[in-house]
């Protein structure tokens, strides 16, 4: 098992509130990043199996973790380029076994370590970690439609220009949280797609890849203490209250 943590961003949404990479915000007695690394190692990964893609103030992250990859275009492109670089590093330099799986995680995610243990224990090769969401024409995240067994039948990325169709208003919908687990086969497919679309979000190829690769939705357990990303002032306040 390998893990890619995406931590190259320059905090465009919180730039007037913080001046460090979001993954280095304090969480309990350490940081978001250290808690992510601890959760992954407790689930069986070695520290050398965890690759952090860095960019903005990279040296601050590199002091905490040795295995990093620098994204020199972090100010130009969205996170597609980070995933492109990381998958190229893992899949085309002899660093990934044929049966190995890869976590891809946003660096500003705050989650209970039990979540990673549960995903690692799953026998499903390809997983999107999702949470239930109500239908709305304002939805912009990656939305999964599943069968009764949790297999993702369709993945849609709505936008302001192309809102989610009303035909989906009467069925259960699930929104992507920013954590996925994929097989080497899918990693190679995603890398090939990102060769021509790395300027944007890495999830944009998923609507094409998900239905043909047996992806399953992994619902965030209701017993989980927390699972959210840090994007707003309200998120910062929520983060500060975790003990």
The CA angle 173-176-177, to the nearest 5 degrees, is: 130
Output the pLDDT for position 15: 67
Per-residue pLDDT tens over the stretch 197-212: 999 999 999 999 999 9
190 by Cβ neighbours in 10 Å (0-12 / 13-18 / 19+) ranks as buried
Domains parsed from the chain with CATH numbers:
2-240 (3.90.550.10)
Q: What is the pTM of this model?
A: 0.94
pLDDT band at 178 (very low <50, low <70, confident <90, very high): very high
d(CA 181, CA 196) in angstroms, rounded, equals: 22
Per-residue pLDDT tens over the stretch 3-27: 999 999 987 777 667 889 999 999 9
User: Residues 120-147: what's their mean pLDDT?
Assistant: 94
CB-based contacts of 16: which residues, under 8 Å, 6+ apart?
none
């Amino acid at each position: 098992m390998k893990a890619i943590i995406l931590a190259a961003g320059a905090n465009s949404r919180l730039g007037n509130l913080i001046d460090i990479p979001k993954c280095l915000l304090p969480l309990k007695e350490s940081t978001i990043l250290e808690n992510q690394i601890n959760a992954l190692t407790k689930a069986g990964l070695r520290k050398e199996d965890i690759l952090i893609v860095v960019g903005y103030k990279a040296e601050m992250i590199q002091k905490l973790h040795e295995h990093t990859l620098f994204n020199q275009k972090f100010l130009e492109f969205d996170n597609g380029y980070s995933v492109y670089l990381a998958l190229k590093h893992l899949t085309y330099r002899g660093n990934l076994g044929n049966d190995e799986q890869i976590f891809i995680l946003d660096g500003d995610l705050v989650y209970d370590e039990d979540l990673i243990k549960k995903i690692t224990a799953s026998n499903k090769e390809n997983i999107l970690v999702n949470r239930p969401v109500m239908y709305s024409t304002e939805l912009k995240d990656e939305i999964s439609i599943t069968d009764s067994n949790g297999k993702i039948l369709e993945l849609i990325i709505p936008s302001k220009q192309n809102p989610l169709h009303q035909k989906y208003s009467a069925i259960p919908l699930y929104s992507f949280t920013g954590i996925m687990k994929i097989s080497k086969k899918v990693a190679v497919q995603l890398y090939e797609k990102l060769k021509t679309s790395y300027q944007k979000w890495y999830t944009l190829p998923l609507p094409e890849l998900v239905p043909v690769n047996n992806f399953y939705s992994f619902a965030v357990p209701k017993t989980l203490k927390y699972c959210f990303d840090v994007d707003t002032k309200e998120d910062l306040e929520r983060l500060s209250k975790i003990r």
